[in-house]
Amino acid sequence: MTTVYNGNGHSNGHGNGSQERNQERYIVEDLENLTFSVHRKVFVSPEILFDEERRIFDKCWIYVGHASELKQPNDFRTRQVAGRPVIFTRDKQGTVRALLNVCRHRGALVCREREGNARQFYCIYHGWSYNTDGSIKGIPGDDAYPPNFDKKSKGLVPVPRLEHYKDFYFVNFDKDAPDLHTYLAGAKDYIDLVVDQSPSGRMEIISGVQEYDIKANWKLLVENSVDDYHLVTTHSTWLNYMRNSGVNITPAKGHMLPTKGFGIDLGNGHLTTDNPNYRGRPVAKWISVYGEEAKADIDAIRKELVTRLGEQRAARVADTNRNLCVFPNLVINDGSSVTVRNFYPVAPDRMRVTAWALGPVEETEAQRARRLHAFLTFYGPGGFATPDDVAALELAQQGYAAWREVPWTDLSRGMGNSQEQLATDEGHLRVFWRKWSELVEGKAA
Ligand code: FES
Ligand code: FE
């Protein structure tokens, strides 16, 4: 039987592959022949990007920021979220809000700073001003408006939905969307593994941000973030560095990497890798790259984890690393540091990436320094990993210029292994694409 995921959640058991492989069907899964194909038009087409904006970014829960970025009342950060200008702010009363950064008069941005603390948002065009809860504060010359002009109703418009899970705030532009907790499904367990690293359960975004563009379609970074198949080739420089630093990176028997890790379907299009750790974790597991002087400190962190969480849970937190993808565009890399990153398409062949380091609020200066070192040296834009990943993704995008002649991407690694999918397989990548197909190729929104 040929199974075609045609976007409406149903499979069609008809026809042979060649007939169905037309340009209007982008994701083709053939369970009989164990093939999974993605049409490369999805990486180059402006029309498909338009559909993604309406059917994915306007419908899904999209990460906007972390509560720790708004420590004081009236703190704010301005962000582009799913193409909209948004003020992520904690108002005077302490309530976290996401307000559209759009003047109610004639539409200018009312907050032009990236971040700060402000008692009001002020539009420089005609001087309308707003309180940090979004309510209207002042309108110059308001006596000129007609008698039925309702000044009170002219506050900044909040995003339709704003919810959080353990201080990770998400917005949704669909007021009828299911709640965030339901949406996150199994991804919650993996966020818990991150948050459990803090003795008080309080993690914080560490000041400073990495921002860069990649000349590649945004979906390539979803794939790349969770794809352990590319590790030994793309990241050979880093693996050599690890080897030279005395870390054992000999592949496990019958496996490409030193440990056997898994790719996991978390439901609703979310997915993760889950690997027994060989890279070390400055938060809980020492390896030689951290230097002898760090050993006692890292051992102490480990001890605190065991005391607080018990052996088993501490081992889960400390001895595995995970690259989590919350559909569609949030990735949390919980490895040698915790990197929170999201990325948006700015064109079919270009994305904008923003990445933050996350850490327990209780960390000492030395622990924080180790964390930031790891954040920079592996995932940073000049680190061991990211430049090589960017090069690979941009090469793929360049290859897609021939999408008409070489139209199909193969994502069939691990198909047929129903029991377990390795992180070096592509089963978890297929999870993303099935959800993508359901939303983009499904009925018009
Ligand atoms: Fe903001 Fe006129 S556009 S005051
Ligand atoms: Fe990589």
Q: Which ligand is nearest to the CA of 331?
A: 2
Task: For residue range 146-171, list pLDDT tens digits in order.
Answer: 999 999 999 999 999 999 999 999 99
Q: What is the pLDDT of residue 382?
A: 85
Q: What is the pLDDT of residue 294?
A: 87
Q: What is the pLDDT of residue 14?
A: 36
Q: What is the pLDDT of residue 26?
A: 95
The model's confidence at residue 277, banded by pLDDT at 50, 70 and 90, is confident
Task: For residue range 376-417, list pLDDT tens digits in order.
Answer: 888 888 888 899 999 999 999 999 999 999 999 999 999 988
Q: What is the pLDDT of residue 117?
A: 98
Is residue 112 within 6 Å of ligand 1 at its C-beta? no
Is the confidence at residue 2, as pLDDT, over 60?
no
Secondary structure (3-state) at 434: helix
Task: For residue range 73-129, list pLDDT tens digits in order.
Answer: 999 999 999 999 999 999 999 999 999 999 999 999 999 999 999 999 999 999 999
Is the confidence at residue 374, as pLDDT, over 50?
yes
Residue 213 has phi, psi (to 5 degrees) of -105, 150
The model's confidence at residue 250, banded by pLDDT at 50, 70 and 90, is confident
Q: What is the pLDDT of residue 6?
A: 42
Closest residue to atom 3 of ligand 1, CA basis: 106
Q: How large is the average pLDDT for residues 300-307? A: 94
Is residue 137 within 6 Å of ligand 1 at its C-beta? no
- Name the residue of 101, 103, 136 to mutate for ligand 1: max ligand atoms within 8 A of Cβ: 103
Q: What is the pLDDT of residue 12?
A: 39
Q: What is the pLDDT of residue 13?
A: 37
Q: What is the pLDDT of residue 266?
A: 98
- Tell me, letter by letter, the H, E, C secondary structure of 373-389: HHHHHHHCCCCCCHHHH
Is residue 106 within 6 Å of ligand 1 at its C-beta? yes
Closest residue to atom 4 of ligand 1, CA basis: 126
The model's confidence at residue 312, banded by pLDDT at 50, 70 and 90, is very high
Q: What is the pLDDT of residue 257?
A: 82
Contacts of 222 (CB under 8 A, 6+ apart): 325, 328, 329, 331, 429, 432
Is residue 255 within 6 Å of ligand 1 at its C-beta? no
Token reading at 399 = 């290859």
Q: What is the mean pLDDT of the chain?
A: 91
